[in-house]
């Protein structure tokens, strides 16, 4: 049995929906809990998110609590936007395998590259901020639970995607030249 490109794209579309729903739940949960803790019930910092207890941080300084939840929210919202863009290009069927070098695909890859760069930068800043707070004696959750781990991987992926986008840009130029000469 041979798996076709169409079947692979259909499977990726379904997988992207599952991931998109998950990151939307994470992003919305972090945003809601940050607002709820800051504006309504400070005691909620103890049960901020599964495996995340911000009571030590909130007790130390509300401003630091805001900064760390802001960084986490930017990372999570950027992931949600990234998977929205993936869903959009798969749903709109903008990937034409007979002619893959299109301006639409190039723009898509550039957008994903910039989003992964943003995620990498804020993950790195957030992990450095957590390390700094830990040095000050503030009890902080694990970076993986905060969704701030792996900044180097996100930065590496951003550079890789940027290179691929440049290759697509050149492919479009060559394709356009070939269409003009025919």
pLDDT in tens, 37-82: 999 988 888 888 888 999 999 999 999 999 999 999 999 999 999 9
Q: How far apart are CA 2 and CA 162, in angstroms?
A: 32
Contact in structure between 101 and 168 (CB atoms under 8 Å): yes
Q: Where are the domains of the chain?
A: 5-181
Q: How far apart are CA 176 and CA 182, in angstroms?
A: 10
Whose tokens are 């739940």? That residue is 25
DSSP 41-54: -GGGGGGSBTTB--
Q: How far apart are CA 119 and CA 157, in angstroms?
A: 10
Closest of 23, 28, 161, 148 to residue 87, by C-alpha: 23
pTM (2 d.p.): 0.90
Q: What is the pLDDT of residues 117-138, one digit of tens each?
A: 999 999 999 999 999 999 999 9
């Amino acid at each position: 049995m041979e798996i076709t490109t169409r079947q692979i794209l259909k499977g990726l579309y379904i997988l992207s929906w599952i991931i998109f729903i998950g990151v939307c739940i994470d992003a919305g949960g972090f945003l809601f809990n940050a607002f709820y803790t800051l504006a309504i019930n400070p005691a909620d910092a103890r049960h901020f998110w599964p495996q995340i207890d911000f009571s030590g941080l909130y007790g130390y300084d509300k401003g630091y609590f805001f900064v760390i939840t802001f960084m986490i929210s930017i990372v999570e919202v950027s992931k949600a936007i990234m998977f929205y863009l993936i869903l959009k290009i798969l749903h709109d069927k903008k990937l034409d395998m007979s002619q893959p070098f299109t301006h639409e695909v190039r723009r898509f890859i550039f957008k994903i590259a910039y989003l992964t760069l943003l995620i990498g930068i804020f993950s790195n800043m957030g992990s450095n901020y957590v390390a700094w707070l830990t040095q000050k004696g503030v009890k902080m959750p694990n970076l993986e639970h905060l969704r701030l781990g792996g900044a180097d991987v996100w930065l590496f992926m951003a550079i890789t995607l940027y290179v691929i986008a440049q290759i697509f840009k050149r492919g479009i130029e060559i394709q356009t030249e070939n269409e003009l000469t025919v």
